[in-house]
Amino acid sequence: MNHIQDNNNLLNDTDGDSIDFKQIISRLVNNWILFLVSGVICLAIAVLYAKMSSPDWHISSKILVEDQKNGPSASMGGNLNSDISSLFNVKSSADNEVQILKSRSLMTVVVREMQLNVRTYSVARLKSIEIFDEAPFNVSVSYKTDTITARSYDVKVLNENDYELTADGVDVKGKFGIPVSLPQYDLTLTRTLKPKSASGKYAVYIESADAAVATVSSLFTAALSDKQSTTIDLAISYPHPKKGEAVLNTLMHQYLLSNLKNKQQIADSTMKFINKEIDTVFNGLNLIERKFEDYKEQNNIADISEQSKALVTSASDYYDKLNQQSIQLSIINEQQKLLNDPNNKKALPSPLIMNSADQSFGQSINAYNQLLLEKEKAGLSLTDINPTIQNFNNQLSISRANILKNIETYRNSLITAQSQLKNQNNNFTGQLKQIPSKQRNVLDFQRQQQLKQELYLYLLQKKEETAISKTSTISSSRILDYAKSDFAPYKPKRSLIYLVGLVLGLVLPGVYLFIKELLNIRINTKADIEKLTKTSIIGEISHNDEEKSLVVLNNSRSIISEQFRSLRTNLQYAIDSSKSNVLLFTSSMSGEGKSFLSLNLGSALALTGKKVVFMELDLRKPKLSENIGVDNSNGFTNFIVSSSSDISKVMKQTWFSENCFLISSGPIPPNPSELLISAKLEVLIENLRKDFDYVIIDCAPIGIVTDALLLEKFADVVFYVVRQDYTFKSQLSIVNDLKVNKQVKNLYLIVNDIKAKNGGYSSYGQGYGYGYGYGYGGYAEEAKSTGIKNWFKK
């Protein structure tokens, strides 16, 4: 259980991702020259950029939008903009006016009026500066096509009359005032009174109006000063302050003209509408009057009220006459009835009303009544048979007959008169019945006539008001502040550019180092090893500048030879020096320096008087015999496959030390692994232990084949070689697996080929690891200060 816990702790420590700030600071300090050079270069670029950048000025102005709700026109009694005119007038608000000021159409008018798509530059040594009214010539363009491709032309003023125009495919010597024909347009340069620059070099840039509108619009801003006011702040950024002021003033002028023109258009539209309505109403009024006139002619109407009164009076008179005739007729009928009755002795009533033609009828009745009275008087004293009475009776009979005859005649005349009166009365009654309908029709005609007449008079009034309104129209906005540029350009901000350049000069090297570290998949520093594995490092060998396989000799005092001596010293605390030890060298892959390290460590041990034998057991790719310069034809392979057990036949004396011997690999076999598990190998190593103090085995890389695991059981110490800038970081997982799975005992790392450079392998910036001195390595010194045996047992 303790072994398992130790293994888990090892894995957790290895996988930790903590940030080593000390290492980061050390890496930055070690690359101070890179930071210095980058800072100087970026600062120089910033200075050059600030010098070459075109300055931009901030130009501002302000306009006031009249509030129409509280304007003077709102308080006028006539309110010239009210009624019909107001139907055509859109209430202006500050928000709407902001959008109008920012509209593309308004900017297009400004661009075309000022020819902002044609810009003139004065060409200096490092940069070109836009010029405005100080240019020695004016440029006018007559376009041949609607589609314009942006193009720049170099202009050199030769003298007062001539200039030279050059561009890609264009080289023309022209004269001021004379058009130059180009593919897209005709270009005319007109000389001004302004003096030319010392160089006389200029540039003319021509682009489409749409492109210029987009460019200028991107530089222009318009916004309300605040939410409580109707003032609008206008601003534009432009490389030439005077031209920027002209652009802004032109834009405000065009805005006011557009505002005024819009009102005039509204007035014209209103006037046109009123005139059209006047014609329509006038024609309608004429039509109504003609219809009314025809109606009165057809119905004999002059004055419907008076005529109605007269008709009512006449009808009443005729009705009275008719009543009188009816009464008279009833009396006549009663008289006729009395006269026809022989027993009637009463006097007859006289007619109530009689015409002059009927006076005899009345006289006859009166005469009859008189005879009747006289008879009655005579009868008082006379009898009926009295001749006088008989005479009266005869006269009465004759008178009655005459009266009846007259009554009949009179009665017929009354009937005839009554019939005529009835007809006349019916006529009047019919006319009276038509009077309400006619009066209603007359009222309808009068109402329509009055309505049309009032509308006609109203339109005439509005026509005059609109004409006056158009004449007195003013813009609803006015300029409060004309365009004015700041005293100094707001960019380039040199101090900010210098600061950015300096910061970039310091940041870029850091980013470079970070990316380099991020993309580095090979072991570069000691921190890389310590981060990926907790296996102890027993030695650190620097880069072999001499390019010799053997660097440790009796009289060698180079740094690398001292590092091998330091490795030899460190080795004494990892082994039991009282007995013979087998040292096994392996690595992750070929090329990491196993043969080089094993050869020089063996030479360093031999210098102390120890007997050392090298076993070249990298049977697939032997290098040790080649490094020593010994023939490899007879070696370990021959010994294993032969029946002889005599070691001396394959043992070779080395040329550099009498204490060093070599057993080379021999011919490369087809089955290396089978040879390494041979029983003769175990016997061989046991015999070598008896005769030598150290048996150094150079075997194949453990990250490629299993040969090292087959030989590990014979080894007292296993050295795992890691090469700087060569071994992959991921390959250190092999070391962790070997320790966790307990496949290898007593495992140590040796770091090979450490480069002598600042910020190199050492995580503390001290050159090679811990700074090798003359004779003592870094780990030896650390071992002295911390306790040698405890340190190697970590």
Of 35-39, 55-59, 227-231, 697-701, which range is least confident? 227-231
Q: Using an 8 Å Cβ cutoff, are 697 and 580 in contact?
A: no
- For residue 310, tell me if it sits in a domain: yes
CA distance 248 to 636: 96
Write down the pLDDT at residue 129. 87
Distance CA 378, CA 268 (A): 112
CA 472, 475, 479, 483 torsion-angle sign: negative
| 615 within 8 A of 714, measured Cβ to Cβ | no
One-letter-per-residue 3-state SS of 522-537: ECCCHHHHHHHCCCCE
User: Does residue 653 form part of some domain?
Assistant: yes
pLDDT of residue 358: 59
Please report which confidence band the pLDDT of residue 68 belongs to, taking 50, 70 and 90 as the band edges.
Answer: low
Q: Residue 784 — pLDDT band, cuts 50, 70, 90?
A: very low
Looking from the CA of 744 toward its CB, the CA atoms found within 13 Å total 29
Q: Are residues 323 and 194 in the same domain?
A: no
d(CA 135, CA 85): 49
Beta bridge partners of 616: 698
- Same domain? 785 vs 680: yes
CATH code where residue 651 lies: 3.40.50.300
- Three-class secondary structure of residue 193 per DSSP: coil
Q: Check whether residue 203 and residue 233 sit in a common domain.
A: yes
Lowest mean pLDDT among 67-71, 157-161, 727-731: 67-71
pLDDT at 554 over 80: yes
| Tokens (6 digits) for 5 | 């816990």
Please report the sign of the dihedral spanned by the C-alpha atoms of residue 107, residue 112, residue 114, residue 117.
Answer: positive
Q: What is the pLDDT of residue 5?
A: 38
Question: By the 8 A CB rule, do 791 and 783 touch?
Answer: yes
User: 3-state DSSP call for residue 574?
Assistant: coil
Domain contains 479: no
Q: How many Cβ atoms from other residues are within 10 Å of residue 270's Cβ?
A: 25
> For position 568, what pLDDT does the model report?
92
Is residue 481 a part of any domain in this protein?
Answer: no
In a shared domain, residues 621 and 687? yes
At residue 373, does pLDDT exceed 90? no
Nearest CA-CA partner of 365 in 324, 389, 330, 331: 331
Check whether 518 has a pLDDT greater than 90.
Answer: no
Q: Is 60 exceeded by the pLDDT of residue 146?
A: yes
Distance, C-alpha 375 to centroid of its chain: 136
The pLDDT value given to residue 214: 93
| Pair 421, 513 in one domain | no
**658 shares a domain with 569:** yes
Instruction: Grade residue 10 by pLDDT with cuts at 50, 70 and 90.
Output: very low
What are 463-508's pLDDT values in tens digits?
787 777 666 556 678 888 999 988 888 888 888 888 999 999 889 9
pLDDT, position 8? 42
Tokens read off for 284: 């309608």
State yes or no: pLDDT of 575 exceeds 70.
yes
* Cα–Cα distance measured from residue 718 to residue 619, given in angstroms and rounded to the nearest whole number: 18
Domain assignment of residue 148, yes or no = yes
- Report how many domains make up the chain: 4
Is the per-residue pLDDT at 112 higher than 80?
yes
pLDDT at 310: 64
Is residue 69 situated within a structural domain?
yes
Return the percentage of the chain with pLDDT > 70, whole number.
79
Q: What is the mean predicted confidence (pLDDT) over 425-448? A: 65
Reply yes or no on whether the pLDDT at 248 is more than 90: yes
User: 231: closest CA among 455, 6, 65?
Assistant: 65
Q: 50 with 62, same domain?
A: no
Q: Based on the domain organization, do 87 and 161 belong to the same domain?
A: yes
Residue 523 confidence (pLDDT): 85
Determine the structural domain holding residue 44 and report its residue range: 2-55+491-519
Range among 36-45, 393-402, 515-524, 767-776 with highest mean pLDDT value: 36-45
pLDDT band at 767 (very low <50, low <70, confident <90, very high): very low
Q: Cα(662)–Cα(753) distance, rounded to whole angstroms?
A: 24
Q: Report, as an integer, the average pLDDT of 541-553.
A: 85
**One-character DSSP codes across 272-325:** HHHHHHHHHHHHHHHHHHHHHHHHHHHTT-S-HHHHHHHHHHHHHHHHHHHHHH
Are 636 and 642 spatial neighbours (Cβ–Cβ below 8 Å)? no
Q: What pLDDT digit, counting tens, does each position of 595-619 carry?
A: 999 999 999 999 999 999 999 998 8
- The rounded percent of the chain whose pLDDT value lies above 90 is 25
Q: Is residue 250, in this structure, part of any structural domain at all?
A: yes
Q: Which of 191-195, 218-222, 339-343, 642-646 has the highest mean pLDDT?
A: 218-222
| Same domain as 127, residue 31 | no
pLDDT of residue 122 exceeding 70, the answer is yes
The band of 372, judged by pLDDT with boundaries at 50, 70 and 90, is confident
Q: Do 380 and 316 share a domain, yes or no? A: yes
User: Where would I find the beta strands (DSSP E) of 594-709?
Assistant: 612-617, 651-653, 660-663, 694-699
pTM, two decimal places: 0.51
Single residue among 203, 232, 262 that ends a domain in this structure = 262
Assess whether pLDDT exceeds 60 at residue 758. Answer: no
| Cα angle, residue 764 at apex, residues 761 and 768 outer, rounded to 5° | 40
770 by DSSP, 3-state: which?
Answer: coil
Neighbours of 253 (CB within 10 A): 14
Most confident of 185-199, 208-222, 312-326, 382-396: 208-222
Q: What is the pLDDT of residue 22?
A: 76
Q: Measured between alpha carbons, how far is 375 from 620 in angstroms, rounded to an integer? A: 197
pLDDT digits (tens, 9 = 90+) for 285-339: 788 777 777 776 776 666 656 656 666 666 666 666 767 767 777 777 776 777 7
Classify residue 102: in a domain, yes or no: yes
User: In the prediction, which pLDDT does 397 show?
Assistant: 77
Residues 49 and 65 in one domain: no
Q: Which residue, among 730, 736, 732, has the nearest Cα to 520 in the 3D structure?
A: 730
Instruction: Examine the domain organization and report whether 160 and 14 are in the same domain.
Output: no
> Band of the pLDDT at 761, cuts 50, 70, 90?
low
| Distance of alpha carbon 412 from the chain centroid | 111
Mean pLDDT of the chain: 79
Q: What is the pLDDT of residue 107?
A: 92
Q: Give me the mean pLDDT over the 104-111 stretch.
A: 92
The Cβ of residue 576 has, within 10 Å, a number of other Cβ atoms equal to 9
